[in-house]
Structure 1
């Protein structure tokens, strides 16, 4: 029997689907799982694709089954499990072999692992994979960081299994060290903001106007045919249309309003803060998920601070729907602009030279935030690669000039009727502060100098950096 082209450890949902994807594309893949029973079950589920899959009961058997130089993908739980798997593989591998962490790793862990293996073991690659289980099976977006030479050895496999957009594979080497996992983290941060903004518009229509789920589904379906065309808008229409088989009511209405999170959104907010880049829409979305988890506290607060009876707000007119559609577009643009600004800052900080146009291109298919205007984002950064802020590019500046008034109107209406719109509101505030040449931080600097002698610069350029606050 011929040897495998690549190995994979971890046959959970993502790992199993990725292995099937690899096998389907004509590559032989050796697989191993900590729970040995899962290996046999997986092979039984593989059907005809099993001809390209080698089941291995031990890590030693896995390594032996792969053609040198041996690339091995890890699809295990992020954190200690990855470290444990690396330690188990190290004595079995040659320096020219490659360990590929394809889980949702913190890029700082990826950097640490690369340093630990540098000169003492196989090459290490941090590979972000987006698209969920469907993407893993039929074509994800793949973001690679690590040694360029290691990437080039696995590139044929990645080209084959990645999603395709107009014939182009949605995978790329983005830089050394933890660049791939960092970009995946920011992808997920933008995803949080996108989902939260969609939920806020849903809440506006449900709570302010009393629209049932099916009617809101039809609105999102229409929007998906226009500028908002995207995977998340598409699935929003789908989930709002679904009925509960146990009661016949909309399924979304029987789901507890408590959103989970696995950490990547929070990491994106932390890294934005660390780099000093405002990513307020992402931060608001992370905070909103935290508030959603406080179900008991929210129910108690509702009794303490009941909402006044809703006033008569009138029907949902075509004009209002246009405002909400444009508001969502404007909020989405700000969230993407913030995410790309964080990546630009990280690129400078870590010397990665991240190709932002390439990032946008490989997100056009396969990933969760795939949307119509990612192609426009790619074109904007290709035309002006030195521009950090998407809002400063001509195409998106024009869009925001048209849409920002609608964002303001939607947020104002929501606030007036007690509808929480944290992410859309944060996007509006970011936009308003960004476009004001003279803000209010002069007062903050005066306060800082008063209590801490931190100093300030003067508008007239005088070399005087402290105030004589004793006269106050």
Structure 2
């Protein structure tokens, strides 16, 4: 079944939706690509549907034929389910590959697994790298954002292909090498965490308009569409207005009235929250978004809760909260959740010794990925000016927060008074208030810790550590 002729420039294993679309993207950009799938029928179907691009595709029946069809040094992309399947595929490939060959995991891997696989590759070969790929099915087919991690020479071998197939922003490829080992997958994880928070905040504002203002889905869609023409312009706002304005073809009702309010998740947002806790860096808006998805799945409990306590009095006074205030709250919340995300990446870079180019990360998120937005140009510029400064403190964004903070506070306060849940916006506001408070309440925490555990504390009037309160003397 292996096609005759010139050897392939690169190989790909796993012809599911994402893998198949990525293979077609590679072929359409002029590269000859060898493809293999464990189920031969899927390979046959894929080739049959490829049309003119089939000329660039090299299908194989066996893994041995697949490896032999790729020009040396070989580069092979894995598009198989994250976890054990990746390890099994690497184990199957290892005896067939040379030390200078390269395996690329392009799935949604946990970056700790990528770190482990990179270490194994150094000890056993062949070479290994992990790349984060964002943009869903459409991105894989027509241009995703690509976040590379591994050895620099590995990126140099395939970077020209990855840049060619990536999305473009002002003719710049949305693909970059970000650091060693699991750096690319860590950045993809944080990307998805920001995605969770951004989506949740949009949903919260939708809820205020629906339940607080009694607006129809079409009216809400009109608001989102208007906002998409300003600073909030983004893929997520764009699809939100399209979702809101779509009618169910079966019933004619608004599509949103038909969709059950139980949100799914694939785990990457949860990984972001876990890593923030493990790295000791705040990501409260992301954590709130993950927790809210978990709560959405508890539909029976929520119904019992409403039966027990009654529905909240949701109706809002339009004079207390305006549509403009909701827009401002979303602007402020978005800035804060990105500040938390970039802060998490910076902390990981410090702890792992990765030289992560934060301005470049903002650039490659400008197109192809789910969180692409107009703000990322300004974020890249702010990070280029000072990549260790909290993004909230960059002049452009501090000015925006000064303009919008009061309205974020107004929205959160009125929502709380009227029983409208806004957990991510509330978490963003609390983060803002803590990070603008020079004298926090952590002195009470330190006093408590010293009282029950003699943990010690620092004093405001003396240098050094390890001081104790008088309660410890008895």
**TM-score in terms of structure 1 length:** 0.97
Say if 1:152 and 1:462 are closer, same or farther in 2 by CA, change over 3 A. Answer: closer
CA contact (8 A) 2:313 2:419 kept: no
TM-aligned CA deviation for residue 158 of structure 1: 0.7
Residue 201 (structure 1) aligned with residue 216 (structure 2): no
Does the C-alpha gap of structure 1 residues 462 and 16 become closer, same or farther in structure 2, counting only changes over 3 Å?
Answer: closer
Q: Which residue of 1 aligns with 2:90?
A: 86
Cα separation, 2, equivalents of 1:385 and 1:308: 44
Equivalence map 1:341-356=2 (5 Å): 341-356=343-358
TM-superposed deviation, 1:404: 0.7
Q: Distance in 2 between matches of 1:54 and 1:470?
A: 74
In structure 2, C-alpha distance between the alignment counterparts of 1:398 and 1:172, rounded to whole Å: 30
Whether 2:62 is the aligned partner of 1:58: answer yes
| Superposed displacement of residue 253, structure 1 | 1.0
Give the gaps of 5 or more residues in structure 1: none
1:135 lines up with 2:139 in the alignment: yes
Question: SS at the partner of 2:410?
Answer: helix
Measured in 2, the distance between the counterparts of 1:316 and 1:5 equals: 63
Runs of at least 4 residues off by over 6 Å: none
Match of 2:336 in 1: 334
* Distance (Å, rounded) in 1 between the aligned partners of 2:297 and 2:468: 46
Report deviation, 1:462: 6.1
Provide Cα deviations, 1:339-362, integer angstroms capped at 9, x if missing partner.
000000000000001010000000
**Equivalent residues, number:** 469
Give the corresponding residue for 1:358: 360
- Which residue number corresponds to residue 268 of structure 1? 272
Partner of 2:231: 227
- Does the CA-based 8 Å contact 1:221-1:233 persist in structure 2? yes
Alpha-carbon spacing, 1:129–1:211, altered in 2? closer, same or farther (3 Å): same
**Residue 459 of structure 2 corresponds to which residue in structure 1?**
458
2:195 aligns with one of 185, 191, 203: 191
Over the aligned positions, Cα root-mean-square deviation in angstroms equals: 1.4
Preserved contact between residue 82 and residue 108 of structure 2 (Cα < 8 Å): yes
Contact 1:209–1:316 at 8 Å: present in 2 too?
A: no
Q: Deviations over 1:112-143 (max 9, x none)?
A: 11111213121101000000000000000000
Indicate conservation of the 8 Å contact 1:193/1:281, yes or no.
yes
Q: Of residues 254, 258, 279 in structure 2, which corresponds to 1:254? A: 258
Q: CA deviation at 1:308?
A: 4.5
SS of corresponding position for 2:421: coil
CA distance in structure 2 between the aligned counterparts of 1:46 and 1:453, rounded to whole angstroms: 69
Deviations 1:263-282 (A, max 9, x none): 10000011111110010000
Equivalent in 210, 222, 228 of residue 214 of structure 2: 210
Distance across 2 between alignment mates of 1:101 and 1:343: 20
Query: In structure 1, the residue corresponding to 2:123 is in which secondary structure?
Result: coil
1:7 and 2:11 matched: yes
Distance 1:37 1:316, change over 3 A: farther
Query: Partners of 1:344 and 1:310 in 2: how far apart?
Result: 40
1:397-412 alignment, distance < 5 Å: 397-412=398-413
Instruction: Name stretches of at least 5 consecutive residues in structure 2 with no aligned partner.
Output: none
TM-score (normalizing by structure 2):
0.97
Q: Quick check: 1:377 aligned with 2:379?
A: yes
Is contact 2:25–2:140 with CA below 8 Å preserved after alignment?
A: yes
